[in-house]
């Protein structure tokens, strides 16, 4: 098999597996126990936290370990919006956001913002972001979608135009896992902070493909998922800007700064730290390699197929390893004809999957969506593999078109 969907099939890096091995059996104690071996586990866990913090450019105490990107998104969104007394973000003297109280009610008992509030979510977000925000509508939170431009980019001016006095949170991903487009998070964060609004950024797709510095991103919370950069599945973290208060979304023994109850998943989080250390050393180099390989793939398909494929959002800022390509025939039929290739196609059944939603957000028709396949390259993808993939896809297209 040749895997061309590393968004879902990313294997563990050997060095990550090696780092995790001792914590399945030899070092099995929990870090909070009063024992020498437990203290050693705690020290290893904090070293992993430092590695993740080093990858994202923050202090270790701003990193909360989670069970993956989905949990991180839920904690960020529900943790901010479930509070009955929201805090407002205001620019501080050092240029970083600070916190202040929400607006007071006027003499008639009304405030400029209702008690629950309003949240903006981009059309391109992951199901966990949309689902977390949507779940709070029963508590009086109003959710509104931010429309996307045909080039796969959310315009900051659009965000600014639909902000309200009672807007509490804006959710904007950094990189889209279908189109690969990179959003202008810093611009959105700056304009939101000027209005006292927090910003959550799902950056899970970006790590391991390009350097990400949260101090430059300026989002208040940022989600991280380990398996996106060769760490273990079910491992993740949330960057929480210092001074920002989150409410826990689960209850039990207070762990992870009081935000995540329950026993720590030591092997997974040690593996996440090892993967973060590896990614922080390789991101710039692999970015250049992705650009070369993606160009080789697209140019190869264009020179081989009888009808030229379309690379969606090709002129927008993108992560180089992720491509949505409209083919000259049905993508599912190509997938069946090229059985040794593993790539993603849109699901036609309801509810629409993330790929379908992203393609609809940029205005693609049902026919165009059925013809689109998503390819995401990995660190180990080679030129020979790319050439073989071009050949197999061309053969599959010919087979489909001549039937």
Asked if residue 169 lies in contact with residue 81, where contact means CB atoms within 8 angstroms, the answer is yes
Question: Residue 141's pLDDT band (boundaries 50, 70, 90)?
Answer: very high
Asked if residue 206 lies in contact with residue 57, where contact means CB atoms within 8 angstroms, the answer is no
Q: In the numeric block, which tokens belong to residue 308?
A: 């030229």
- The overall average pLDDT reported for the chain is 88
Give the residue among 196, 219, 202 at the shortest CA–CA distance from 117.
196
Question: Residue 93's pLDDT band (boundaries 50, 70, 90)?
Answer: very low
Which neighbouring-strand residues pair with 88? 100
Distance CA 90, CA 98 (A): 5
Nearest 5 degrees, angle CA 15-CA 322-CA 19? 10
* % residues pLDDT > 90 (the chain): 69
Distance CA 98, CA 242 (A): 9
Q: Exposed, middle or buried by CB within 10 Å (0-12, 13-18, 19+), for 157?
A: exposed
Distance CA 318, CA 174 (A): 10
Distance CA 23, CA 62 (A): 24
| pLDDT digit string, tens, across residues 235-257 | 999 999 999 999 999 988 888 98
Asked if residue 119 lies in contact with residue 171, where contact means CB atoms within 8 angstroms, the answer is yes
Residue 113 predicted with pLDDT over 50? no
Residue 87 predicted with pLDDT over 60? no
Residue 56 predicted with pLDDT over 70? yes
Whole-structure pTM value: 0.90
Q: In the numeric block, which tokens belong to residue 254?
A: 């207070």
């Amino acid at each position: 098999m040749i895997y061309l969907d590393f968004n879902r099939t990313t294997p563990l890096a050997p060095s990550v597996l090696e780092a995790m091995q001792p914590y399945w059996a030899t070092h099995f104690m929990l870090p909070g126990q009063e024992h020498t071996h437990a203290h050693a586990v705690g020290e290893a866990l904090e070293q992993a936290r430092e590695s993740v913090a080093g990858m994202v450019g923050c202090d270790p105490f701003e990193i909360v370990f989670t069970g993956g990107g989905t949990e991180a998104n839920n904690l960020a969104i529900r943790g901010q919006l479930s509070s009955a007394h929201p805090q407002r973000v205001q620019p501080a003297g050092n240029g970083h956001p600070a916190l202040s109280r929400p607006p007071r009610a006027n003499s008639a008992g009304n405030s400029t913002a209702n008690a629950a509030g309003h949240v903006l979510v981009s059309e391109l977000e992951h199901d966990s972001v949309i689902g977390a925000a949507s779940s709070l509508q029963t508590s009086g939170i109003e959710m509104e979608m931010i429309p996307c431009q045909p080039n796969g980019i959310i315009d900051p001016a659009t965000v600014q135009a639909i902000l309200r006095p009672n807007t509490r949170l804006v959710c904007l991903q950094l990189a889209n896992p279908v189109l690969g487009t990179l959003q202008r998070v810093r611009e959105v964060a700056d304009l939101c902070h000027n209005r006292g609004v927090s910003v959550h950024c799902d950056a899970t797709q970006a790590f391991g493909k390009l350097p990400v510095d949260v101090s430059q991103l300026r989002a208040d919370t940022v989600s991280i998922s380990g398996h996106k950069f060769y760490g273990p599945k079910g491992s993740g973290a949330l960057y929480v800007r210092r001074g920002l208060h989150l409410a826990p979304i689960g209850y039990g023994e207070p762990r992870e700064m009081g935000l995540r109850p329950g026993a720590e998943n030591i092997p997974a989080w040690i593996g996440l730290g090892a993967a973060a250390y590896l990614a922080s050393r390789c991101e710039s180099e692999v970015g250049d390699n992705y650009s070369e390989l993606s160009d080789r793939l697209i140019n190869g398909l264009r020179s081989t197929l009888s009808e030229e494929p379309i690379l969606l959002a090709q002129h927008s800022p993108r992560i180089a390893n992720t491509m949505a390509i409209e083919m000259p025939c049905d993508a599912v039929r190509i997938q069946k004809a090229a059985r040794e290739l593993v790539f993603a196609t849109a699901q036609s059944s309801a509810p629409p999957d993330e790929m379908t939603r992203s393609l609809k957000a940029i205005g693609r028709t049902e026919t165009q969506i059925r013809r689109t396949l998503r390819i995401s390259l990995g660190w180990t993808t080679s030129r020979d593999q790319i050439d073989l993939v071009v050949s197999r896809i061309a053969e599959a297209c010919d087979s489909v078109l001549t039937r």
